[in-house]
Structure 1
Amino acid sequence: MMAGLLEGALAFGFAALGVALALNLWRLVRGPGVADRMLALDTMVINVIGLVVLAGIEEGSDTAFEAALLLAMVGFVGTVAYAKFLLRGDIIE
């Protein structure tokens, strides 16, 4: 009973994150401004982290969670650097 419920929840999670990634890609391509595109990229990183975590749950792998943590750190640093570049035009002062 629990195995079927977990499989259904994982399938729903993968589908929901797939739809979210598709909508983020649409905003990335169609975004009216640079800030909208930057937010779409940041949200895509968050959705990919969710996909990695779901894949780790499905496979029973601890490595996926470490990869998700690394992806979160890189995504955060990338977002901060890109925001600083948009505001000041220079990343390194």
Structure 2
Amino acid sequence: MIGYAVTFAFACLALALGLNLWRLLKGPEVGDRVLALDTMVINSIAIIVLIGVATTNNTYFEAALLLAMVGFVGTVAYCKFMLRGDIIE
């Protein structure tokens, strides 16, 4: 039963990544592109966690945590650059 749930979740996340990629390429403003990129990072984290669930390997959960930290810092830095034009004060 868990196999069907994981397969369904992979399909949903693949669809979500495809739609985010479309918004990243098509987005009319820079804010839309930043939001799409941040959402792609969140979906990638979910895919890594699903791989960990499917393979019952704990290493994937640590990789997801690292990607979450890097994604957060990258989003904050890019938003700060958009607002001020400079990242380092």
Shorter-chain TM range is over 0.9
Is 1:63 the counterpart of 2:62? The answer is no
Shift of 1:39: 0.1
Partner residue in 2 for 1:32: 28
Structure 1, gaps ≥5 residues long: none
Which has the greater radius of gyration?
Answer: 1
Is 1:88 the counterpart of 2:79? The answer is no
Root mean square deviation, CA, Å: 0.3
State the distance in 2 between where 1:11 and 1:89 align.
Answer: 43
3-state SS in 2 of match to 1:92: coil
3-state SS in 2 of match to 1:72: helix
* Paired-residue identity, %: 66
> Could you state the TM-score of these two structures normalised by the residue count of structure 1?
0.95
Letter in 1 for 2:3: E
Q: Deviations over 1:48-90 (max 9, x none)?
A: 0000000000011000000000000000000000000000000
Q: Deviations over 1:17-51 (max 9, x none)?
A: 00000000000000000000000000000000000
Structure 2, gaps ≥5 residues long: none
Give the ranges of 4+ consecutive aligned residues of structure 1 lying more than 4 Å apart after TM superposition: none
Letter in 2 for 1:27: R
Letter in 2 for 1:81: A
Is 1:48 the counterpart of 2:44? The answer is yes
